[in-house]
Amino acid sequence: MKQGRYVLLIFILLLTACAPDFGQSPEETVIDENQDETQQETAIIPKYNLSEENYRVLIDSNLSKARGVITNQIANRVDIDELEEGLRRHSTEVYDPESYYFQEGQYLTEDILYSWLERYDEETDPLGLNPEINGTENPVEDEKANPKYLSHILEQNYLTKSEDDVMELAGISIGIAMKSVYRFQTEIGGPYYYENIPENEMMKEANELAGEIVARIRQTEGLGDVPIMLAIYREASQSSLVPGNFVAKTNIPGDSSSVGDWQELNEEYVLFPSESGQNTYPETWATIVDFEADISNYFPNYVSVIGKGFFRDGQLNNLTIDIPVSFYGKAELIGFTQYVYGLVISAFPNDFNLEINITSGDKVEALIVRDAGAEEGFVHIYN
Q: How far is CA 46 from the centre of its chain?
A: 22
Q: Which residues contact 348 (CB under 8 A, 6 or more apart)?
A: 287, 291, 319, 354, 370
Q: Please, is 259 exposed, middle or buried when counting C-beta atoms within 10 Å of its C-beta (0-12, 13-18, 19+)?
A: buried
User: Residue ranges per domain, the chain?
Assistant: 27-265, 270-381
At residue 270, the pLDDT reads 98
The residues with which 379 forms a beta bridge, in sequence order, are 368
CATH topology agreement for domains 27-265 and 270-381: no
- What does the alpha-carbon distance between residue 273 and residue 126 come to, in Å, rounded to a whole number? 47
Does residue 364 come out as left (phi exceeding 0), alpha (psi in the -120 to 50 range) or beta?
A: beta
At residue 66, the pLDDT reads 84
Q: What are phi and psi of 36, to 5 degrees?
A: -80, 165
Question: What CATH number labels 27-265?
Answer: 3.10.570.10
At residue 21, the pLDDT reads 47
Contact present, 229 and 94 (Cβ < 8 Å): yes
CATH fold of 270-381, please?
A: GMP Synthetase; Chain A, domain 3 (3.30.300)
Provide the strand spans (E) within the chain: 27-32, 41-46, 56-57, 101-104, 150-161, 166-178, 181-184, 193-196, 228-234, 245-252, 263-264, 267-272, 306-312, 315-324, 353-360, 363-370, 378-381
At residue 15, the pLDDT reads 36
At residue 3, the pLDDT reads 45
| Half-sphere exposure in the Cβ direction for 47 (13 Å, CA) | 5
At residue 43, the pLDDT reads 57
Query: Smallest Cα–Cα separation from 107: which of 151, 57, 159, 150?
Result: 159
Q: Please, is 153 exposed, middle or buried when counting C-beta atoms within 10 Å of its C-beta (0-12, 13-18, 19+)?
A: buried
Q: How long, in residues, is the chain?
A: 383
Blockwise average pLDDT, block size 10, the chain, 383 residues: 40 40 48 53 57 77 80 95 97 96 94 97 96 89 96 97 88 98 94 96 97 97 97 96 98 94 97 95 96 87 87 97 89 93 94 96 94 95 91
